[in-house]
Amino acid sequence: MQLIAVLLAFSIERVKRLSPGWHFSGYLQRWLRLSKQQDWLEKLYENPIGAVVVVLLPAIVISLVVAILDSGLVTLIISVLALLLAVACAPARSAYRDYLHAAHRDDAAALNQAATTIHQAAGLPDDHTETGPALAWLHYRHYAAVLIAYVVLGIFGALAYASLRTMQNLQTHAKDGAKSEPETVDADLDDSNDDTGDRDDDIIDAAPWQKIMFWVDWAPVRITSAGFLLVGHFSNALPVWLGSFSKPHQPAQQVFLKVAVAAEDTQPIENDANPQPGKTQEPLRLVALMKRNLLLLIVVLALLTLAGWFY
């Protein structure tokens, strides 16, 4: 069941351009706005644990409802929908295409704009300037991490990871002066009839989302980067990957990107649409590495399913 849901969701996301209605961030922010209007929920924001419970409450409720219904068909449908919401990142995909086209035209302004959108969607600070690593981190957060969370914790895992990821992005960009995540298309959040800025800041700052995501990503990052040893340069990446265990407090992003860069293929990638390889070779190589690694994770899931470890 899990393998079928993963294959369906990832295939749909790849071949179909999802509308803004599939952006998870918009739904979560609507829920946060609604929760602030309920006194009993608003009180939970007074401490970090309560804030985390409120943010994860939709994932908890949906998971419980699916478990109570105990229907294979319902579980499959909700699983596919949950995965689609968790992995959808249409603005970043469009920005990646714009980035390649801008490099082809040698349009510096368009190139910088596309790169900024990619960095923000990846939850990186605005001063982060490397597009290749940003694309790799974005791919991890929207595909590999969601896949691992879903395999381990089911529907709750996929939705919970997407919820915490969104809160971290909001907190990161709130510090940089941005009030919403780029993947969000939610006009209700820009309502000028109330003090939305202060209320949204209260929610965003209610818990240390950066620290929470550090621990949430600790194991998935190392599991995902282990795949780079098999789909990239094993001898180059192995010492870097092993070294990550001797530095347990190293940020997950640094661990992931160091292993990815070490495993990166150094052979130039031919791209007919872009005859200027110097500007896009690193992004193209890292994206190709991420795709191979995601395929490896799905193959491992398929083998574990055949072995009876998952259903």
Please count the other Cβ atoms lying within 10 Å of the Cβ belonging to residue 268.
11
Contact call for residues 85 and 59 (beta carbons, < 8 A): no
The predicted pLDDT at position 224 comes to 95
Contact call for residues 286 and 166 (beta carbons, < 8 A): no
Helix then strand then coil, % of the chain, to nearest 5: 80, 0, 20
The predicted pLDDT at position 41 comes to 81
Sequence-distant (≥ 6) Cβ neighbours of residue 140 within 8 angstroms: 221, 224, 256, 290
Task: Write out the two tokens for 157.
Answer: 């895992």
The predicted pLDDT at position 298 comes to 94
Q: Give the Å distances, CA to CA, from 308 to 5, 220, 302.
A: 16, 22, 10
The predicted pLDDT at position 175 comes to 67
Each residue's pLDDT, cut to its tens digit, for the chain (311 residues) gives: 889 999 999 999 888 877 777 888 889 989 988 888 888 887 888 888 988 999 999 999 999 999 999 898 999 999 999 999 999 887 777 777 777 777 777 777 777 787 787 777 777 765 556 788 888 898 999 999 999 999 999 999 999 999 999 998 888 777 665 444 444 444 444 343 444 444 556 677 777 888 999 999 999 999 999 999 999 889 899 999 999 999 899 999 999 999 998 998 666 555 544 444 556 677 888 888 999 999 999 999 999 988 888 77
Q: Which residue has the tokens 């002066």?
A: 177
Which residue from 174, 158, 148, 166 is spatially nearest to 212, judged by alpha carbons?
A: 166
Give the global pTM.
Answer: 0.87
Q: In a 3-state reduction of DSSP, which class is residue 178?
A: coil
The residue extents of the domains of the chain are: 2-306
The predicted pLDDT at position 192 comes to 36
Sequence-distant (≥ 6) Cβ neighbours of residue 109 within 8 angstroms: none
Q: Which residue has the tokens 């478990």?
A: 67
